[in-house]
Amino acid sequence: MARRELVQIKTAAEITKMRAAGLVVGRTLEKLRAAVEPGITTADLDDIAERSIRGEGAVPSFKGYQGFPLTICTSVNSEVVHGIPRRKKVLHEGDVISIDCGAILDGWHGDSAITVAVGEITPELTELIRVCEDSLWAGLAAAQLNGKLTDISAAVEGAIRPHAYGIVDHYGGHGIGTEMHQPPHVLNYGRPGRGMRLVEGVALAIEPMITVGSPDTFVLDDDWTVVTTDGSWAAHTEHSVAITPAGPWVLTALDGGVERLSALGVACGQPAESAQSPV
Binding residues for Mg ion, rule: CB under 5 A, are 100, 111, 113, 205, 238
Q: Which of 175/247 has CB closer to Mg ion?
A: 175
Cis ω for the linkage preceding 183 (within 30 of 0): no
Asked if 202 and 7 count as a contact pair (C-beta separation under 8 A), the reply is yes
Q: How far is the CB of 272 from Mg ion (least distance, A)?
A: 28
Q: How far is the CB of 28 from Mg ion (least distance, A)?
A: 12
Q: How far is the CB of 223 from Mg ion (least distance, A)?
A: 18
Q: How far is the CB of 175 from Mg ion (least distance, A)?
A: 10
Q: How far is the CB of 11 from Mg ion (least distance, A)?
A: 22
Q: Which of 14/238 has CB closer to Mg ion?
A: 238
**182 class by beta-carbon count within 10 Å (0-12 exposed, 13-18 middle, 19+ buried):** buried
Q: How far is the CB of 207 from Mg ion (least distance, A)?
A: 5
Distance in angstroms (rounded) separating the CA atoms of residues 136 and 49 = 23
- State the Cα torsion 121-125-131-137 to the nearest 10°: -40
Asked if 176 and 102 count as a contact pair (C-beta separation under 8 A), the reply is no
Q: Which of 147/172 has CB closer to Mg ion?
A: 172
Q: Which of 111/134 has CB closer to Mg ion?
A: 111
Q: Which of 53/113 has CB closer to Mg ion?
A: 113
Q: How far is the CB of 139 from Mg ion (least distance, A)?
A: 13
CB environment 80-101: b (16+ within 10 A), e (fewer)? bbbbbbeeebbbeeebbbbbbb
Distance in angstroms (rounded) separating the CA atoms of residues 193 and 184 = 15
Q: Which of 73/118 has CB closer to Mg ion?
A: 73
Q: Which of 50/238 has CB closer to Mg ion?
A: 238
